[in-house]
Amino acid sequence: MTDPTSSPPSADGSWTPRIIAFFCNWCTYTAADLAGVSRMKYAANTRTIRLMCSGRIDPQFILEAFAKGADGILVGGCHPNDCHYAEGNYKMLRRFRLLRRMLKDMGIAEDRLRLEWISAAEGEKVRSVINDMVQKITALGPLGLPQKYEAWDREVTRLELAAQQSQPPFPSAQPSPTSEVAHG
């Protein structure tokens, strides 16, 4: 039985990346629709989530997607000064920069999170960005956070058992009589 959180194998049995795309309704999602209507061929490993604006993406959505098994995240929004909500794309840009730094500190390669400005008329750009991202994520290999969580849980359980079987190396957390403050 296959693990639903792991990335799916390709037709030849090799690994293929799982990419989640958060697309702005007004520009990038419309461009993806244009690419489909125009029968442009691009990798099928991307699952698209349509949002009204890229500025509505909570950073927790991206972290949750990685935690649930995504190997890469693509965010698409309107070009600067072209946002239907005036400055939503600038909000996303600030969050994107923060998230990249945080993911780097977590040991996650920066190329796993990508932000692109794609207008409604740029179906070809959607195709090229998705294909390029699939290629880069394939080169990086699986992220596998759900499997890493399981390994980390097993390690913590082993440490807990080892600590229970031996005397703790540090004194009890009980307050000493001399450390209490006299009230009076």
The CATH number linked to 51 is 3.40.50
Backbone angles phi, psi at 161, to 5 degrees: -65, -40
Q: What's the total number of domains in the chain? A: 1
Q: Is 171 part of any domain?
A: no
pTM of the entire predicted model: 0.77
Q: Is 152 part of any domain?
A: no
Q: Is 175 part of any domain?
A: no
Q: Find the helix packing angle between 145-165 and 59-67, rounded to 10°.
A: 70
pLDDT of residue 5: 44
Q: Is 118 part of any domain?
A: yes
Q: Is 31 part of any domain?
A: yes
pLDDT of residue 155: 87
User: Which helix (H) or strand (E) segment is 50 a member of?
Assistant: strand 46-51
Domain that holds residue 121: 19-146
Q: Is 97 part of any domain?
A: yes
Q: Is 119 part of any domain?
A: yes
Tokens of 104: 């780097």
pLDDT of residue 31: 96
Q: Is 163 part of any domain?
A: no
Per-residue pLDDT of the chain (184 residues; tens, 9 = 90+): 334 444 555 556 689 999 999 999 999 999 999 999 999 999 999 999 999 999 999 999 999 999 999 999 999 999 999 998 999 999 999 999 999 999 999 889 999 999 999 999 999 999 999 999 999 999 999 998 888 888 888 888 888 888 888 765 555 555 555 555 555 5
pLDDT of residue 177: 56
Q: Which residues contact 126 (CB under 8 A, 6 or more apart)?
A: 28, 31, 32, 34, 35, 40, 42, 76, 118
